[in-house]
Each structure stands twice: as C-alpha cells, then as structure tokens.
Structure 1
Amino acid sequence: MAISAREAAHRAASDAERIAWVDERDQLLGSLPRAELRERGLIGRGTFILLFNSAGELCVHRRTLSKALYPGYWDVAAGGMVGAGESYAESAARELHEELGIAGAELREHQRFFFDQPDNRLWCAVFSALSDAPLRLQPEEVLEARFLPLEQVLREVETKPFCPDSLQALHSYLASLA
C-alpha cells in the first residue's frame, strides 16, 4: 500500500520520537525510540482521554489504516505515548489537541493500569474531558469520529473491532465511577 509523503514523514518522526521507558511498577528507567520499545518488548507510558460532550456522549473515532497498532480499529479514547520528560497530564493534553483538535479542556485523571499484550506493553493513565468544541481530526491518526451514547458504544464493542487498550481504559474509567 502506497503512503503519502506526509504519512511517511509522520512515521519517521514517530520512529525517532523518544518515549518514556518504565518498569513493571511504572518507575522511570529512561527513554527510547517507540520502535525499539516495541521490538524489545519493553514498557512505555501511555495516556487515554475519554472525550465527552455536554449530552454525555463519548467520542469514538476510527484509526487510520497506516497505524502500526490496531490499524482501522475503532477507538474510545484519544491518546498516545508519553514522551521523554513529559508527565502523563502533559501527554494527555497534547494528544487530545493533536488527534481531535481539542485544546484547553479540563482533564480529570481517574486511574492508572498496566496493559500487557505482545507489541503493546504500557503503563496507562486514564483521563476524561468535556467539550462541545468542534473536532479537528488529525488526518495521519483519525479517519472519522462521532459522539455516541455510552450504552451504544458498549453494544458496538461486541460487533466491531475496537482497540483493546482503550477498551481497558474505558472499563477502568467506569470502575472509578462506581
């Protein structure tokens, strides 16, 4: 599959991007390029931001086909890897702005959890945000996005491919409300 020059540049930047490298207890060990973390099965830090509108609907988006993990899957959270020298909260604010174009929304941190699957080992921080601002989708990351009632999202995860890490983030968030 051919990719555009813009996508190729984004991939090269992602490969060179240094990610916070941690151990099984989320203790910082340093930073490494994203590709090296995955290739060596090491643990990075990630953020997941559940974006709600004032009607209580959750933003669900579809990942681009060029994504290294879960290409074309549906996602219940904006988010990504925590960069070297970046806090979870700083990463969450950056990712929400980059992926969905939402800046300045108050972020509320809920829980952290360890996600452990081959090629995707992360210590994750779950945030929520509320915004009715128009979405501005990052074309390298997001194909489409829509707001849905939470009950509908929970039904759709049974029949459509959703990112397992963000689903765990959603379940962690729901557990924090109970």
Structure 2
Amino acid sequence: MDELVERVDDQDRLLGVAVGRRQAIREGWLHRVAVTVCRDERGRILVHRRSEQVSRFPGLHEVEVGGAVAVGETYEQAAARELTEELGIRVLPRLLFTFLNRSGLSPHWLGVHEAVVPDAVVPDPDEVAWHGWLTELELRSALLEWRFTPDSHEAFSRYSAFRTTRS
C-alpha cells in the first residue's frame, strides 16, 4: 500500500491535498520527509546500509534514519515513528532545520533532526542490512568511498554546517 503524504508548496505550506507518495514522486510534487542523524553518548554517528528489499535506493548507505511525513503528522512525529519502525527505539528527536531538497527521486522538504540513541539498536532487517557507529572523521572518509543515498550527502553537509554555527 502506498503511503499517503500531504502536498506542500515551495515555502513548505500545506496545500491540503493528500496523495500517494509514489504519485508525488512520479509527478514531482513537493511533500515532506523527516530524517534523524543518530548519535551515541560518545558522539559517534549511526550509519546504515539499506536492505536490498527496500523500494528506494536498495543497498546504499545512509547517514540518517527516516521517511515520509504521513498525513496529519509533524516532522517530529514522523521522525520519532521512523526511529521506532527502523531501529526499534523510542526517543524524541529534535528538529534542527528544514530545507527544500532537490536530490533523490523527486524534490521534497527535508526536516533534519538529531537524537542521542543507545548503542544497542535493533534495526528492522527488512529496512537495514548493516549498521555501524562512525566518528565524524570516519564518516567523512566513508562518504567519499561508499555508495550513499543522495539525501545523505546533502543532509550531512547541511547538518555539519548547522552544528558548526552552533558551536
């Protein structure tokens, strides 16, 4: 079954139209996606490789965990739901910023969150084939060597810049 998402405009304002995510991607309609950069208590970042069974970007690595914002959800609610579905954890991620992301399958508004999560996550094997914790230096190297989703490069670049301006 196709996920229902809300169409939004180029200012991230709700247009009030619920559509299937596949149709939104196919038509290039703006919708919302929520992702979370997960850190452990030592500051390492969770990186994972997507399962070969997922429909979007199978087998590619990701820096963030997330998915589409469903009808009636906020970015934060969607991010928390996705963490539960994909990693089996319940935490409240903090929304850092949103931006109009034009990388990936279609343009969409991306809400980037951050959360400190336990080291011992239990990923859903239907979603996650492998996961590991990397330092920022290790992650920067991996981004050059491994195959990552388009969102990962853009989101991590903006996330790093955001953290730098807040330090």
TM superposition score normalised by structure 1: 0.86
What displacement does 1:40 show? 0.9
Q: 1:152 to 1:118 in 2, by over 3 A?
A: closer
The alignment-based identity, stated in percent, is 31
Residues 1:55 and 2:42 are matched in the alignment: yes
1:108 to 83, 87, 94: 94
Distance 1:106 1:93 in 2: 6
> What is residue 77 of structure 1 aligned with on the other side?
64
Q: Which runs of 5+ in 2 are unaligned?
A: none
- How many matched pairs? 163
- The residue correspondences of 1:19-34 to structure 2 (distance < 5 A) are 19-29=5-15, 30-34=17-21
> What is residue 149 of structure 2 aligned with on the other side?
163
> What is residue 152 of structure 1 aligned with on the other side?
138
CA-to-partner distance for each residue in 1:95-146, whole Å, 9 max, x for gaps? 111111120x242211111111463211011100002252111122111111
Distance 2:104 2:45 in 1: 28
Q: 1:136 to 1:83 in 2, by over 3 A?
A: same
1:121 to 84, 107, 118: 107
RMSD between aligned alpha carbons? 1.4
1:38 to 25, 32, 50: 25
Distance 1:95 1:49 in 2: 9
Q: Which runs of 5+ in 1 are unaligned?
A: 1-12
TM superposition score normalised by structure 2: 0.92
Distance 1:43 1:86 in 2: 16
CA contact (8 A) 2:103 2:151 kept: no
